[in-house]
Structure formats: structure tokens, C-alpha cells
Amino acid sequence: MSALTPNQVQTIKATVPVLAQHGTTITSRFYHDMLEAHPELKNIFNNTHQATGHQAQALAGALYAYANNIDDLGKLSPAVELICHKHASLYIRADQYAIVGKHLIETMKAVLGDAATPEILEAWGAAYWQLANIMIGREDQLYRETSYWPDWKDFTIVKKVKESDEITSFYLEPVDANLRLPNFKPGQYISVNVFVDELDGGMWQARQYSLSDAPGKKHLRLSIKKEPGIEIGEPKHMTHAGYISNLMHEKKNEGDVVKLSHPFGDFFLEEDDEKDAPVVLIAAGVGLTALTSIFNSLITEKSSRPITWIHGARNTKTRAFKQHYDQCATENENVHAVYYSSSPVEGEVQGQHYDIEGRVDLDKIDRSYLHTDNDKTRYYACGPLRFMLDVEAKLKSYGVPSERVKMELYGTGGVPRV
């Protein structure tokens, strides 16, 4: 489809206030109507995010951003790249874009009524396909790069290890012994696809989890947090955040088979020419998983780069892998680890079980460990949204430009850079 006409661009920009007011109403009805007409797509969309409205809110935000930047789409490139990787990890196909486009325009017409003039609907139809074709092209490129793994693959859980009260690691090996494991980029994720009997008579549900070890092993490792307060079998348990993580913890054991996607993701250790640039890894809670893959990769390749590991957890019971990081820091003089505990339990000793009491606050760290005086330092942060925005703001106050800070957010949408 050809580029938007100047009139169509102006029409799209004129709908920005409408999307601000009615965006979530449009997207909520869109998902309801589309999934009712195409129940097979329920296997793709996160049931929990549908029930909580997070998926509709994320799409509404994306539509608003698209309309607001329709004449400068370069600003949306990072968001498009993030979405394309997520789509690839779910094996979204080009023909499914037609279904989405049809229902999106129909829903706009139904919700906006007479305000949705033929001119507006035509402009949005053209705008949708402009963006869809960009994404289809990028996703096709990702599929061609991973053509040896074109669909879900069966993997056996060969080992299951409890790392903390909340986090358990799953070591997975391909059922097909001839399947070569990819040399993925440290920090990337895979999708785990499991069949859930209780959902609408049974459906597949996929969730993305960061790989938590370096590439080059005969297995893939996931370290999954079990969200509290969920009881499998409870009437509304399928709509709770963390339902699939609880299913993995409670129902999936060594010897069981799950389906995995190829690794994807736009958050990873940068391969740059600055081989001596310090790396600072800043994590909160289970956000340590993606960063552990980066950390272990640097350790495995015996990197001489200064490496600082910073992790915040409630206490020793919820912190995973501490012994591993400590051992690496002892054996490698270029590695330094700092631990925060927001709620130390009885018996924890400051200086032994943790270094600083409270949530992660970079002001409380010796600045030499942050390497802010080196304009080559790379920073990677992963954890809850508020945590990452606080980390970025603090680094910015130290004079660190945003292009040297990479962040990974779990859940729908991405990190809103400010």
C-alpha cells in the first residue's frame, strides 16, 4: 500500500484527542469482538492481560503514540522493534494482520458512531496497513534469520532447581536431539507455550521468560518467579497475574515436555568495539534473570571489563543466585557485587547477607562502582517499571546519557522513556 497522503496524515493527527478520550473503550471492544469471531486467536493472546485490561490499555497507548507521531515514525522505531520481537516469539503470521485490521476499523466505527466519518475510517485503514506492512516485513526478517526453528519446539524439563522461596530454574533440552540450540544474545527471552485445560475447554497459553544463563550450553535455562496468592483450581485463578508461572512451579516437573519458541528480544548485551567498557547491571527482584544471562556470558568469556552487579530483593529468602555472584566476585578482581535488602529477616547480617538496607538507591553506592566517570560505561536495568525509571533518572542526574542505558520491562507494552 502506498504512503499516506498529506490529508490522511492530518486526519490521523486530528484524531489524537479522540484516542486520548476513547482509546481504551475502542481497544477493549476490539479484543472482545475479534476473539469472539476468531476464538482460535485466544491461543495467542495472554488471557490474564485480557481479563485485567492490560492488553487493551497497551494497545490504546500504542495507537495514541502512532497517531501522535504519524508524520515522524522514526520516533516509534524502538517500540516497533520490541513489538516485532514479541510477535515473532509467538509466531504471529502475516495473514493475522488482516483479521486485526478489519476488526479495529469496525470497532472504531461502532464506538465513535457518526464521528467516525468515511474520511477518518479510510485514513485509519491506510495508516493501519502502513504500520502493519512495516511490522510484517521486520517479522519476516526475524523468521528468515531463525528459519531452522519455524514453529514451536518440544523441550523436556531435565532439571528443576529451587533458587529461592520464589524463583525456580528450569533446565530444558530439545526432544529432537538434532535441533541445534541457538547462540542467542545474552538478555533475550523465549516463549513457553503450555496447554491449559481449564480455559474455555482447553487452550494454549504462551508466556515470555528471560533466559537466565549464558549461551553455548546443551540446555536452555529459565528462572521463573512464582507469583504469590494464587491457588491452582480456584475459580478465578486463570485471570491472576502469574497464573502460568504458578502452573510451571506446581504442575511441571522433571521429565515433562513444554513447547518453546526460538529466543528473541531487543534487550541484550551490546556487541560493540569498546571491549574495555565497564558494564553495570542493575536488577530488582526477578529482573535479575535477563541480567544473569549477561553476567554469566561475560564471566564465561573471561572478560576483563569492570563488571558491577547490583541487586535489590526483600531479603535472603527471596534472593536468587547470591552464592554464584559472590563466587564470581571472589574469583575475578574485575567483578564487584552490591546487594540491597528492603526487608531483612531475623538472622540476616549486614555486610554478610546484604550490603545496604532499603530499596535500590544508587546514591548509597560508592560511585567508583558505577563508573560514571567513564563515558564508555554501559548500564543495563531490569525490574518493575517505577524501579527502572528511577534508575534511569538517577543515572541521568549523574550525567549518563540515555543511549548508554538499556532497560527491559516485563509485561505488556514497553518502557516509556522520558
End of a domain among 264, 294, 318? 264
Q: How far apart are CA 378 and CA 203, in angstroms?
A: 42
Residue 372 lies in a domain: yes
Could you tell me if residue 415 is inside a domain? no
Amino acid identity, position 26: I
Tell me the three state secondary structure of residue 177: coil
Q: How confident is the model at residue 417 (pLDDT cuts 50, 70, 90)?
A: very low
Looking at the fold, whether 98 and 200 belong to one and the same domain comes out as no
Q: Which amino acid type is present at position 121?
A: L
Concatenating the DSSP letter of every residue in 216-268 gives: SSSSEEEEEEPPSS--TTSTTGGGSTTHHHHHHHHH--TT-EEEEPPPB-S--
Of 117, 146, 175, the domain-final residue = 146
User: Residues 140, 161: one domain?
Assistant: no
pLDDT (mean) for 250-278: 92
Same domain, yes or no: 75 and 177:
no
359 located within any domain: yes
Q: Which residues pair with 171 in a beta bridge?
A: 159, 221
Mean pLDDT of 283-307: 97
pLDDT at 303 over 70: yes
Assess if residue 416 is contained within a domain. no
> What's the pLDDT band for 230 if we cut at 50, 70, 90?
low
| Beta bridge partners of residue 194, listed in sequence order | 205
48 within a domain of the structure (yes/no): yes
CATH for 254: 2.40.30.10
Beta partners for residue 288, in sequence order: none
Q: Using one digit for the tens of pLDDT, what is the confidence trace for 50-78?
A: 777 788 888 999 999 999 999 999 999 99
Question: Residue 255 — very low, low, confident or very high, per pLDDT cuts 50/70/90?
Answer: very high
Sequence letter at residue 72: D
Mean pLDDT in residue range 240-249 = 82
| Same domain, yes or no: 157 and 138 | no
Higher pLDDT, 4 or 275: 4
Domain C-terminal end among 146, 171, 202: 146
CATH code, domain carrying 108 = 1.10.490.10
Helix axes 54-68, 6-14, angle to 10 degrees: 130
Active-site annotation, residues: 97, 139
Q: Could you tell me if 141 and 222 lie in one domain?
A: no
Q: Which residue intervals of 90-150 are DSSP H helices? A: 94-112, 118-145
Give me 10's grid cell. 492530518
Domain match, 320 and 340 both: yes
Residues 136 and 192 in one domain: no
Q: Is the predicted pLDDT of residue 236 greater than 90, yes or no? A: no
Report how many domains make up the chain.
3
Residue 417 maps to a domain = no
Same domain? For 185 and 246 the reply is yes
Query: Is 418 inside a domain boundary?
Result: no
> Are 92 and 160 members of one domain?
no
Statement to judge: residues 138 and 157 lie in one domain: no
Residue 1 lies in a domain: no
Share of the chain above pLDDT 70, in %: 93
- Rounded to the nearest angstrom, the gap between the alpha carbon of residue 184 and the centroid of all alpha carbons in its chain is 15
Mean pLDDT over residues 361-378, rounded?
A: 96
Whether residue 10 sits in one domain with residue 142? yes
pLDDT score recorded for residue 241: 58
* Domain range for 42: 6-146
So what's the pLDDT on residue 358? 97
Dihedral sign, Cα of residue 259, residue 265, residue 267, residue 273: positive
Domain of residue 313, CATH code? 3.40.50.80
> Mean pLDDT of all residues in the chain?
92
In this structure, the answer to whether residues 231 and 320 fall within a common structural domain is no
Q: In the predicted model, is pLDDT for residue 297 greater than 90? A: yes
Query: Per-residue pLDDT for 235 more than 50?
Result: no
